[in-house]
């Protein structure tokens, strides 16, 4: 008669010291925006309305106009959180690094949601507009004209702001770029063939996010209508405030939460506000895919 063994009596091997993590999306917001992590809930940025110069025949006369200052402010009106309950917290973390895994995962999920909010909010307040030819970025032949047209919207400033343009596309757009890059002049094409998709084209930094990041949905206080849209702009001119950035807490299970629950609740949370200062909004372009 064969022995019957509990499956829990068998030895198990763990692939790594930490539990496997879910696939994580690339985050873009901190790469394209200036981040303010001070304790302030409101950031003010008043600006002087541009004056108008006059050219005239020599007369030795002039007229004055009042200087106008316009208030501009960024308020932190949204919060993001993720929470979980860890049973037998002390014993589990003594055996595996679950604490680190949980915190890494929670903090990432909060940052991912912040990234979605920032991408859609920046697109929402951008005042530049552009519609691609049919096929958008998935048609390779469209891309040189699209990039040229977009650069034309930000070029010509003495400060050189056009030296740091970026374009945010979704992962389903990449096919046109790959076809274009591998078919380009041979040194560039060879690099693309050898290294795969290249994240720079004609001086524009290309960021690829997962499809579905640009949304038509309610995202906190933002009502976004951005499905089928993409974002072009200049690095560091948009700003998002994240007071104290993402923080986490470990708490005993609160009273009244139910019986038979040992362990801790772990929560990660962040506060978020995003804008483009008014004088710069025209340097960010809401791209509509045709």
Confidence check: pLDDT of 103 > 80: no
Those residues whose C-beta lies under 8 Å from the C-beta of residue 214, and which sit 6 or more positions away, are 119, 120, 123, 170, 224, 226, 227, 228, 229, 230, 231
Which has more pLDDT, 110 or 217?
217
Q: Binning pLDDT at 50, 70 and 90, where does residue 46 land?
A: confident
Q: Measuring CA to CA, which residue among 159, 155, 132, 166 is closest to residue 32?
A: 166
Q: Residue 60 domain-assigned?
A: no
Q: Residue 13 domain-assigned?
A: no
Confidence check: pLDDT of 164 > 70: yes
pLDDT attached to residue 48: 84
Lowest mean pLDDT among 40-44, 74-78, 219-223: 40-44
Average pLDDT over the chain, rounded to whole? 82
The upper half-sphere exposure of residue 281, i.e. CA atoms within 13 Å in the direction of its Cβ, equals 14
Q: Residue 97 domain-assigned?
A: yes
Looking at residue 92, which CATH number applies to its domain? 3.30.2320.10
Q: Binning pLDDT at 50, 70 and 90, where does residue 42 land?
A: confident
Q: Residue 160 domain-assigned?
A: yes
Q: Residue 82 domain-assigned?
A: yes
Q: Residue 136 domain-assigned?
A: yes
Q: Which residue has the tokens 């691609």?
A: 132
pLDDT attached to residue 153: 93
Q: How many distinct structural domains can be found in the chain? A: 1
Q: Residue 56 domain-assigned?
A: no
The upper half-sphere exposure of residue 31, i.e. CA atoms within 13 Å in the direction of its Cβ, equals 15
pLDDT attached to residue 196: 59
Confidence check: pLDDT of 11 > 60: no
166-195 tens-digit pLDDT = 999 999 999 998 888 887 765 666 666 666
Q: Measuring CA to CA, which residue among 230, 234, 232 is closest to residue 156?
A: 234
Confidence check: pLDDT of 204 > 70: yes
Lowest mean pLDDT among 44-48, 224-228, 269-273: 44-48
The boundaries of the domain holding residue 186 are: 26-42+72-288
119-154 tens-digit pLDDT = 999 999 999 999 999 999 999 999 999 999 999 999
Which has more pLDDT, 2 or 110?
110
Highest mean pLDDT among 97-111, 182-196, 201-215, 232-246: 201-215
Q: Residue 58 domain-assigned?
A: no
């Amino acid at each position: 008669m064969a022995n019957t063994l509990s499956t829990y009596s068998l030895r198990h091997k763990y692939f790594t010291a930490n539990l496997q993590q879910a696939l994580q999306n690339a985050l873009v917001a901190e790469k394209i925006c200036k981040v303010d992590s001070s304790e302030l809930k409101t950031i003010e940025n008043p600006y002087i309305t541009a004056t108008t110069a006059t050219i005239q025949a020599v007369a030795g006369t002039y007229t004055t106009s009042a200087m106008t200052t316009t208030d501009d402010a960024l308020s932190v009106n949204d919060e993001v959180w993720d929470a979980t309950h860890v049973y037998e917290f002390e014993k589990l973390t003594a055996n595996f690094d679950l604490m680190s895994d949980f915190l890494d995962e929670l903090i990432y999920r909060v940052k991912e949601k912040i990234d979605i909010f920032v991408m859609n909010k920046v697109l929402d307040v951008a005042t530049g507009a552009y519609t691609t030819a049919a096929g958008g970025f998935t048609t390779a032949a469209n891309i040189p004209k699209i990039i040229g047209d977009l650069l034309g919207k930000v070029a010509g400033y003495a400060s050189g702001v056009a030296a740091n343009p970026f374009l945010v596309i979704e992962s389903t757009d990449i096919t046109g770029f790959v076809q274009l890059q591998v078919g380009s002049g041979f040194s560039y094409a060879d690099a693309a063939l050898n290294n795969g998709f290249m994240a720079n084209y004609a001086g524009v930094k290309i960021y690829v996010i997962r499809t579905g990041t640009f949304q038509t949905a309610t995202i906190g206080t933002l009502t976004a209508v951005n499905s089928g849209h993409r974002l072009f702009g200049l690095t560091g001119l948009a700003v998002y405030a994240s007071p104290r950035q993402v923080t986490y807490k470990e708490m005993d299970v609160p009273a009244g939460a139910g019986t038979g629950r040992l362990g801790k609740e772990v929560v990660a949370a962040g506060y978020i506000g995003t804008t483009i200062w008014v004088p710069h909004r025209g340097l960010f372009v809401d791209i509509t895919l045709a």
